[in-house]
Structures are given as C-alpha cells and as structure tokens.
Amino acid sequence: MSVKGFDIAIAGGGVIGLALARALAGEGARIAVIDAAEAGEGAIPPASHAAAGMLAPSFEYGELPEALSKALYHFGARGLSLWGEYAAALEEETGLSIDYRPHGMLAIAYGENDKTPLEEQAAMVSALGGAAEMISGDAARAMEPALSDAVIAALHAPKDAQVDPRRLMKALKASLAQKGAPIFAMRLARIEKDGEGHRLVSAGGDHVEADRVVLAAGAVSGLAPQGLVYPVKGEAMAVALEDGLLTRVVRAPGAYLCPKAGGRLVIGATEEIGREDLKVEPAAVAGLQANAAKAVPPLGRAAELERWAGLRPGTPDGAPILGLDGEGRYLALGHYRNGILHAPAAAEAMAALVLGRETPVDIAPFGLGRF
C-alpha cells in the first residue's frame, strides 16, 4: 500500500492522536491517522482503551518535579474546562453517547495519615485557582451514602468529571469517518524525510506520505525520541454497580472507583514500570476489589464483569512531551495517566502549533528540550 496526498499524518490512534486528527480535519486539513493497535496479531490496544476516564487535574501525577507541576496542573485544568463543551459537541456530531459525568470527585481518608496529604493537595489546588475543599466524613457520606463509616474526611473536587474512554474512542473514530479522515492499520518501522515531507513506513513496506507528521504513538511504538516514552502497566477491573450506589468518582487508598453507565463500576489501577505484557494478576484485581470494598462495603460482593491491563505512556518526569523535535516532526507524546483529561487541551494546542498559530496555553514547559 502506498498512499499520498495528506497534509498531516498522525502516528498514533489513541485518544490524543484521534482528538488531534478531529481538530485538524475540522479545520479542513487532509489528515491520515496511523493506528498500530489494529495492525494484526500481537497489536497492543492504546492506553486510552484501558483508561478509567477520570477528568481530575489535581491528581494522577505521581512524582513530579516542582518546576513542571504548575504548568501541568494548568494544562489539565484547561482540559477539564474544555471537556463539557467538547463532550456535547462530539455527541451531537456523532449521535453517540460518551457518558460524560460532571459530578465531582471525593478523595477519602480513613485516618490522619491519609488526611494530611489530602489537606496539602486541597491547599495546593485552591492556591492554583482550582476547586477543592476538605469536608468531614459525615459530609462525604451525605453526598455518597454508601461510603464506609471508617471515612473520617475527604477532599471534595466539585468540578472534576469523568467520561467513558471506550465510548469516547468510538465516537472520535466515527467523527473522523464523517470528516473523511482515514485510519490506516499499520505498525510503523520508521519515518523517513521525503523532500519537504515525510514518509511513514511499515515493516512490510507499506507507506503513507504527508507534508507534516505528528508523533502521538503509545508506550511501545518505539517512535518516541531518545526512548523517552516507556510503558507503565496498569491493571483494572469492572464490577456490576447496583443502581444508585455511587454517583461521583471516589478515590480511596489503593483504588479509585468510577461509576459508569449501564450498571458498571470501573475500579483501578495498579502501576508497574518495565512490564510490556497485558497479563492481569489475580492478586492485583483481588487487591483492587478489597480496597474498593473498604471504601464502599457493598462492593465486596459485587460481581466482576471484566478485568484488563493497559500500558500507560510514561515519561521520565511524568509530564507529556509537546512541541517539535529536531527533525521537523511534531510531538504529542507521553500523557501517562492523563491522556483522557488532556485530550481536548492537547488537540487545541497541537492543532494551533501544526497550523502555525499561537497556542491557547503555553506548551513550552513540555518541550523535548527539557530532557
């Protein structure tokens, strides 16, 4: 296969690649997406497929150097602020629900050891202009009556939201189909310079040619410059959710709980660097369900619906890589635990960059040069 004539080729069919493709195609650019996840046996689904879909700019960062943390918080907050309209527009455009739920989040504490970091977190988020307050255990139970009596306090983030990532991916693909932007199932072996343009070549010699190229590929694509993006494996599960048991996302020690449409509760997630397999350890899901049941006791007897693993695209400092490399390729890589949250913000910023406009938020802190 040899396909030419695209303005922009996007290597990567995860949420970042698809959201960027939608933004660029919406501006009239001829876009092709290259998606390795569909390229036959052994293909790894994008991390977006495994994600829980929490839209929570004040969490999910792990260990982050202080210099980047503000920029990253503001980038996530930009994503959250765009999400409501983004979800509504995508649903209207495609006629597909993505189960966007702007119901807030409770991060719970069972004792002083859990409470102190939440207090620090709430203070930091408030200082950065976000919405987060500490509330008592009783106030948390007034919001979520199924919470355990062992909860003594909670951080309440009233503006946090969530979405269903698999529904989102389906809707983004439908949007691209409507816009006439093809998705090619190819595992890329290399990207070559081709005069002023780029040739994206598979191991079998298929290729796609485009004037510009964006790398938005995942943890095991091997396409990230200097090997800076690597897999951080996460295991998760879904259990049956009794009607009305939970409304908000609950973040408990050792598990987060995300109630979804259709009587499904997603419970996540483990975190392990250096594994590239999608095997789910029985002890891992047992641990997740036990931690979820400590927070919401009826979950101890909830029937398991599914278990899975995914590979998050991690980076050395936990922040994404956005900008240009030294070879004229655009980079939208390494969104680690926050790809779903970041997607609308990354799409608007990268679309602006690729089309030669000023980006709505400063992405300079996320440039490759920081490594």
Residue with tokens 């792990």: 62
Site for ligand GLY (CB under 6 A): which residue of 312, 317, 333, 351? 312
What span, in angstroms and rounded, lies between the C-alpha atoms of 347 and 322? 11
Instruction: Work out how close the CB of 256 gets to ligand GLY at its nearest, in angstroms, rounded to a whole number.
Output: 7
User: Residue 247 corresponds to which amino acid?
Assistant: T
- Nearer to ligand GLY (CB atom), residue 55 or residue 109: 55
User: Where does this chain touch ligand GLY (CB under 6 A) — which range of 17-25, 51-59, 193-201, 316-324?
Assistant: 51-59
Q: Does residue 54 touch ligand GLY according to CB under 6 A?
A: yes
Instruction: Using alpha carbons, select from 363, 364, 339, 367 the residue that is nearest to residue 228.
Output: 367
Instruction: Work out how close the CB of 273 gets to ligand GLY at its nearest, in angstroms, rounded to a whole number.
Output: 13
Q: Calculate Rg over the CA atoms of the chain.
A: 20
Q: Does residue 314 touch ligand GLY according to CB under 6 A?
A: no
What span, in angstroms and rounded, lies between the C-alpha atoms of 139 and 153? 8
Q: At what angle do helices 339-354 and 15-26 cross, to 10 degrees?
A: 40
Q: Does residue 44 touch ligand GLY according to CB under 6 A?
A: no
Alpha carbon 311 to chain centroid, angstroms:
11
Stretch 181-210 residues interacting with ligand GLY (CB under 6 A): none
Site for ligand GLY (CB under 6 A): which residue of 10, 11, 17, 60? 60
Q: Is 217 left (phi over 0), alpha (psi -120 to 50) or beta?
A: beta
What span, in angstroms and rounded, lies between the C-alpha atoms of 339 and 312? 9
- Nearer to ligand GLY (CB atom), residue 9 or residue 18: 18
Instruction: Work out how close the CB of 312 gets to ligand GLY at its nearest, in angstroms, rounded to a whole number.
Output: 5
Q: Does residue 269 touch ligand GLY according to CB under 6 A?
A: yes
User: Where does this chain touch ligand GLY (CB under 6 A) — which range of 48-56, 196-204, 247-255, 284-292?
Assistant: 48-56
x/- contact string, 219-258, with ligand GLY (CB under 6 A)? Answer: ---------------x------------------------
With the C-alpha atoms ordered 45, 46, 51, 53, is the resulting torsion angle positive or negative? negative
Q: Number of residues in contact with ligand GLY, rule: CB under 6 A?
A: 9
Helices (H), 97-182: 112-127, 137-143, 165-179
Site for ligand GLY (CB under 6 A): which residue of 268, 313, 320, 323? 268
Instruction: Using alpha carbons, select from 363, 366, 344, 347 the residue that is nearest to residue 355.
Output: 347
Alpha carbon 195 to chain centroid, angstroms:
35
User: Where does this chain touch ligand GLY (CB under 6 A) — which range of 49-57, 87-95, 136-144, 159-167?
Assistant: 49-57
Element spanning 93, H or E? helix 66-94
- Nearer to ligand GLY (CB atom), residue 340 or residue 354: 340
- Nearer to ligand GLY (CB atom), residue 13 or residue 310: 310
Residue 368 in 3-state DSSP? helix
- Nearer to ligand GLY (CB atom), residue 181 or residue 341: 341
- Nearer to ligand GLY (CB atom), residue 109 or residue 309: 309
User: Residue 272 corresponds to which amino acid?
Assistant: E
What span, in angstroms and rounded, lies between the C-alpha atoms of 75 and 321? 12
x/- contact string, 329-348, with ligand GLY (CB under 6 A)? Answer: --------x-----------
Positions touching ligand GLY (CB under 6 A) are 51-52, 54, 60, 234, 268-269, 312, 337
